[in-house]
Structure 1
Amino acid sequence: MYNNKLKLGWFIGVIVILASCAQSPQKVELAPRFEVPDAPRANGQPVHVRVSDQRAKKVLGSRGGAYPETAVITLANDLSSAVTPAVKEHLQALGYNVDSLDANTVDLHIIFDSLVYHHPEDDGVGHDMDMEAEVRVEASRNNQSYNGRYRVKRQQKFFNAPSDTQNSELINALVVEVLENMLADQKLQEFLNGASPV
């Protein structure tokens, strides 16, 4: 009888430990926010913005834990619908005339090829998260065009598993960072401002 109670207690203890190590799935609301620029870099140059989600994998990654295959992270909303208005607002703040009907309007097509936020494995020392975002840009005006590719890749270690709020903040920051890298491209800026590509 004593042995049975001991086994039952041990079994319940294991279940509690596993449950505490488990991570639930999470859907992240994508809502990128850019910092207000210090000064405009354009003078009303016309631009039309399009954003496409061409990621091969729509799952961002796993939160890890006891059951990593079910503790997945996905987006709660449509990537294109979330990013497009944020980029438009930022370009307006930078001095561009967004969605102009001008004949010299630049068609700025932003294509997301990758968005990764993944805890690869539990090694017992901290909690590593792999982060990656990759976008392409296809800018065209009349018979001219400019293409670019931009990538952000980093790994961040946490003492404990990141919370839902931390995950959301880091994923949104990753999207903003790769888009800021794109907009910092001097050749893209020159093309948006009317210069012909070399």
Structure 2
Amino acid sequence: MSYTTLMKGCVLTAALLITACAQSPQAIQVAPEFPAPTQVNGDGNPVHIRVSDQRANKVLGSRGGAYRETSVITLANDLSLPVETALSAYMAAMGYDVNSLDPNTTDVHVIFSSLVYDHPKEYGLGYDMDMMAGVEVEVRRGNEHYEGRYRIKRNQKFFNAPSNSHNSQLVNDLVAEVLVSMFSDPKLVAFLKRN
């Protein structure tokens, strides 16, 4: 085997290794799907739901690989509207009247303060993803108000890097999970049910 042929083979192998370690950027479409509610206790109480995105960092994280600074994960659409639509449907399934014109309607403002889906720089065997979602809720009715903060945080390990579709599913599941967790707050539920 000639020196030239050997060098071409080494260059090709190196290029393949670099390509294998690279991850392309991904923009995830927000479209959370909520599970069927475990409690149907809204009792027809009127609510108006608003969702806003107040995250300081709009990048969810990195997919890792050789160029982690450019293999970022972001959202393809605005977080507010699709989450607001899905959350309204979920609260309607819980028995709340989400389209009421009642003057005593409770205003439910959900604020996303963080959303993280990131492959850490240091990792061992397998493929780790750090996941975290944080929301604040401001609930007002007349002169009364209630505020709460909720957070989901976990690390999940995969054998290989998740695909685009798997990333999308995991991020949307995370969004739904943190919102479902709000309704395990008995003080929030009591406030929403108060007439």
CA contact (8 A) 1:65 1:122 kept: no
**Cα distance in 1 for residues equivalent to 2:185 and 2:72:** 33
Match of 1:17 in 2: 17
TM-score, structure 1 length as denominator? 0.94
Match of 1:169 in 2: 169
- 1:171-190 matches, within 5 Å, as 171-190=171-190
Tell me the CA shift for residue 184 of structure 1.
1.9
**Cα distance in 2 for residues equivalent to 1:184 and 1:33:** 18
Q: 1:11 and 1:124, CA in 2 relative to 1: closer, same or farther beyond 3 A? A: farther
Aligned length: 195
**Cα distance in 2 for residues equivalent to 1:104 and 1:182:** 22
CA contact (8 A) 1:49 1:99 kept: no
Tell me the CA shift for residue 4 of structure 1.
2.6
**Cα distance in 2 for residues equivalent to 1:9 and 1:122:** 31
Flag structure 2 segments of 5+ consecutive residues without an equivalent.
none
Structure 2 counterpart SS, 1:97: coil
CA contact (8 A) 1:28 1:74 kept: yes
Match of 1:126 in 2: 126
**Cα distance in 2 for residues equivalent to 1:73 and 1:44:** 39
Match of 2:83 in 1: 83
**Cα distance in 2 for residues equivalent to 1:8 and 1:131:** 42
Flag structure 1 segments of 5+ consecutive residues without an equivalent.
none
> Is 1:2 matched up with 2:2?
yes
Tell me the CA shift for residue 27 of structure 1.
1.1
RMSD: 1.4
Match of 1:95 in 2: 95
**Cα distance in 2 for residues equivalent to 1:136 and 1:39:** 22
Match of 2:37 in 1: 37
> Is 1:55 matched up with 2:55?
yes
Structure 1 counterpart SS, 2:70: coil
CA contact (8 A) 1:64 1:122 kept: no
CA contact (8 A) 1:42 1:94 kept: yes
Q: 1:39 and 1:154, CA in 2 relative to 1: closer, same or farther beyond 3 A? A: closer
Cα shift readout 1:5-24 (whole Å, capped 9, x = no counterpart): 21222111100111012111
**Amino acid of the residue matched to residue 55 of structure 2?**
R
**Amino acid of the residue matched to residue 99 of structure 2?**
D
CA contact (8 A) 1:49 1:109 kept: yes
Tell me the CA shift for residue 66 of structure 1.
1.3
Match of 2:158 in 1: 158
**Amino acid of the residue matched to residue 154 of structure 1?**
R
Tell me the CA shift for residue 121 of structure 1.
2.1
Cα shift readout 1:44-68 (whole Å, capped 9, x = no counterpart): 1000000010000111000011111
**Cα distance in 2 for residues equivalent to 1:19 and 1:50:** 43
Match of 2:109 in 1: 109
